[in-house]
Amino acid sequence: MKKLIYPLILLLMFACSDDDGGGTTNPNIDLMVGTWNLTQLQINPAQDVNEDGNTTTNVLDELPCMNGQITFRADNTWSFQGTDLVITTITGGLFKFFCGDALSEGGNWDVQGNNVRLVNSTGVLTQFSLNANDLTISNIIGETLPGLQAEVYTKQ
C-alpha cells in the first residue's frame, strides 16, 4: 500500500529553502489575503474513484471526504487544514482511493510576480502559480500512481 500525504504539506514539497518566506515583493497583498479552498485534484489517467462506473480526472468529483483550505493572512503567515489522500495500487493501472487523517500546517508566504511561495515551519518551500482567483500547483507526481497532475485552490 502506498500512502501519499495529501496536499501542500509533504506531497507538494518542491525544494528546501532557508528563506523564511516573510515579506512580499507584490504591492497588492490584498489579492492573496483570505481563504482559498481546494477545488480540483487532477489525476491522469481518469479513475473510477468511488466505484460507481464513471471515471473522472478530478478526485474531488467522486471522493467528497477530500478537502483542503489555505488561509493567507496580511502578516504574511498562512495555515492549511485538509485531508490526507491514500492511494493503493490494485492492478492493471487501477487504484483505490481513501481519505486519510486530518492534516494541518502553517508558516510564512510571499508573492513574486505570479508565484506564491509558502514556507512551512521546517523551511520547506512549496510554490503555486497565481491566475486570477486560482492557485495551482502542477505536475505533482506525474509519473507515479495515477499521476497527480494538478492541485487547484480557489479564493472564496
Tens digit of each residue's pLDDT (9 = 90 or more) over 97-126:
899 999 999 999 999 888 999 999 999 999
CA distance 23 to 119: 12
Going by pLDDT thresholds of 50, 70 and 90, the confidence category of residue 89 is: confident
Query: In the chain, what percentage of residues exceed pLDDT 70?
Result: 76
Structure confidence at residue 31 (pLDDT): 85
Query: Which domain does 70 fall in, by range?
Result: 2-155
Q: Please check whether residue 115 is in contact with residue 130, taking contact to mean a CB–CB distance below 8 angstroms.
A: yes
Residue 127 is predicted with a pLDDT of: 92
**How does pLDDT run across 144-156, given as a tens digit for each residue?**
556 778 899 999 9
Cell output for 51: 466505484
3-class SS of residue 62: helix
- pLDDT for res 1: 44
CATH of the domain at 110: 2.40.128.300
Reported pTM: 0.77
